[in-house]
């Protein structure tokens, strides 16, 4: 029978094992799940545990800035203890360590990638943009959201008196997805980080750890899923910072914000998936169409047959790493004449390999291979 003083062990055949429920299956608990059962039996959580780090050795400027921005008052020293960031002996909790500017918990990182195409295979160039972020959870949240905004486009349509903007993704849904991934991830799982993967037709936010109660989100009704907090200290602090609410499911907000988008259609409904080790949110590109998919596939086939010269490949790799370079800067880096660079860039532009986005002075180059 279910109880609170976990873990419960089965002894037999010379072994002692604990089990957990994942969906409709009963499976042997792995190391991380066993630690989780021990914490549950102690009525505790990972983020509330006391770490070996001293409060005095770390700064919290991002936390203080956000607190002041949201509450219009400075964060006092006594708040750090009352919020569960530090204990009476000056030791950080795990939540405190995760919120420190120079967060010492190595696997608290965020990997972001804008892939070239509909999957990770890409073409001649796999990724169009990528970044790895470390530090406070507030830094990860802000940098991750900025990365998505940098890699999404906004279409628009004209009305009688104004125009309506049509972004690729609903920003509220993106923000909620990143918050959920950072706050509700399982920090007992080492060797894995939160990932944001952007493809032509979708954006996927991956977080280590499935549903806290062992169910599978794809088998549940989103309207009836309760707000379960794997890391209650972090969740409480983020609510005090205005990043999330104390009640209510973030999954509902993600879905409902999408449905309110001007360019939403039923086939663009967000998709939630979980299993034993992961939770993913997939947001469809609201401006992506099947015809565009066919055109991109055709362009990809043509690109695969396109043969770049060694010099052209050097130029493309340079623009991939530094998309805002001017022609004069390109000449300097490649040590080529002005006419040579102009001829090469004109050819690549006519062939659709490089495209100039934005204005002449403040624009940037994109590579299409």
pLDDT for 156 equals 86
Give the C-alpha separation, 37 to 45, whole Å. Answer: 10
Mean predicted confidence (pLDDT) in 329-356: 88
Residue 37 has pLDDT above 90, yes or no: no
Tokens of 172: 């509220």
Tokens of 217: 């989100």
CB atoms within 10 A of CB 195: 19
Which domains does the chain possess? 1-44 (no CATH), 110-284 (3.30.565.60), 306-367 (1.10.10.10)
With helix as H, strand as E and coil as C, how does 299-356 read?
HHHHHHHCCCCHHHHHHHHHHHHCCCCCHHHHHHHHCCCHHHHHHHHHHHHHCCCEEE
Say what the pTM is. 0.72
Instruction: Report long-range pairs for 351-354 (Cβ below 8 Å, ≥24 apart).
Output: 351/306, 352/299, 353/303, 353/306, 353/308, 353/312, 353/316, 354/315, 354/316, 354/319
- What digits encode the pLDDT tens for the residues 133-150? 999 999 999 999 999 999
Nearest to 179 by CA among 103, 237, 102: 237
Tokens of 96: 């405190």
Q: Give the contacts of 29 (CB within 8 A, at least 6 positions apart).
A: 7, 17, 18, 19, 20, 37
CA 162 to each of CA 27, 156, 157, 286, 339: distance values in angstroms, whole numbers, following the listed order: 58, 10, 9, 21, 44
Mean predicted confidence (pLDDT) in 257-286: 94
Mean predicted confidence (pLDDT) in 37-43: 57
pLDDT for 176 equals 95
Q: In the predicted model, what is the mean pLDDT of the chain? A: 85
Tokens of 343: 């001829």
Residue 328 has pLDDT above 60, yes or no: yes
pLDDT band at 351 (very low <50, low <70, confident <90, very high): confident
Least confident of 15-24, 152-161, 282-291, 294-303: 294-303
Least confident of 103-112, 163-172, 289-298, 325-334: 289-298
3-state secondary structure (DSSP) of residue 17: strand
pLDDT for 300 equals 54
Q: Which of 119-133, 178-192, 283-297, 303-317 shows the highest mean pLDDT?
A: 178-192
Give the C-alpha separation, 273 to 211, whole Å. Answer: 10
């Amino acid at each position: 029978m279910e109880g609170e003083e976990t873990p419960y062990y089965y002894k037999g055949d010379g072994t002692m094992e604990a089990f957990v429920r994942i969906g409709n299956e009963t499976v042997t608990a792995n190391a991380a799940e066993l630690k989780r059962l021990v914490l549950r039996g102690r009525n505790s959580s990972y983020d509330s545990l006391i770490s070996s780090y001293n409060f005095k050795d770390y700064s919290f400027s991002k936390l203080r800035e956000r607190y002041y921005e949201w509450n219009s008052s400075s964060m006092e020293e006594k708040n750090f203890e009352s919020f569960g960031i530090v204990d009476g002996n000056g030791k950080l909790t795990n939540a405190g360590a995760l919120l420190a500017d120079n967060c010492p918990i190595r696997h608290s990182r965020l990997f972001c990638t804008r892939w070239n195409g509909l999957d990770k295979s890409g073409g001649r160039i796999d990724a169009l943009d990528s970044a790895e972020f470390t530090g406070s959870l507030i830094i990860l949240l802000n940098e991750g959201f900025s990365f998505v905004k940098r890699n999404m486009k906004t279409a628009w349509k004209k009305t009688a008196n104004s125009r309506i903007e049509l972004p690729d993704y609903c920003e509220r849904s993106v923000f909620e997805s990143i918050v959920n991934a950072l706050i509700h991830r399982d920090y007992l799982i080492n060797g894995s980080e939160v990932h944001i993967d952007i493809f032509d037709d979708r954006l996927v936010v991956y977080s280590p750890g499935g549903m806290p109660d062992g169910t599978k989100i794809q088998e549940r009704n989103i309207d009836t899923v309760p707000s379960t907090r794997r890391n209650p200290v972090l969740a409480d602090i983020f609510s005090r910072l205005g990043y999330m609410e104390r009640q209510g499911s973030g999954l509902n907000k993600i879905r409902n914000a999408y449905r309110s988008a001007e360019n939403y259609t039923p086939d663009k409904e967000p998709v939630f998936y979980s299993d034993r080790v992961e939770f993913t949110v997939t947001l469809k590109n609201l401006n992506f169409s099947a015809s565009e998919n066919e055109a991109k596939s055709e362009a990809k086939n043509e690109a695969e047959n396109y043969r770049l010269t060694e010099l052209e490949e050097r130029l493309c790799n340079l623009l991939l790493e530094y998309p805002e370079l001017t022609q004069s800067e390109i000449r300097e880096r490649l040590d080529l004449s002005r006419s040579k660079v102009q001829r090469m860039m004109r050819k690549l532009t006519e062939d659709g390999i490089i495209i100039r986005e934005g204005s002449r002075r403040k624009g940037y180059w994109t590579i299409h291979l």
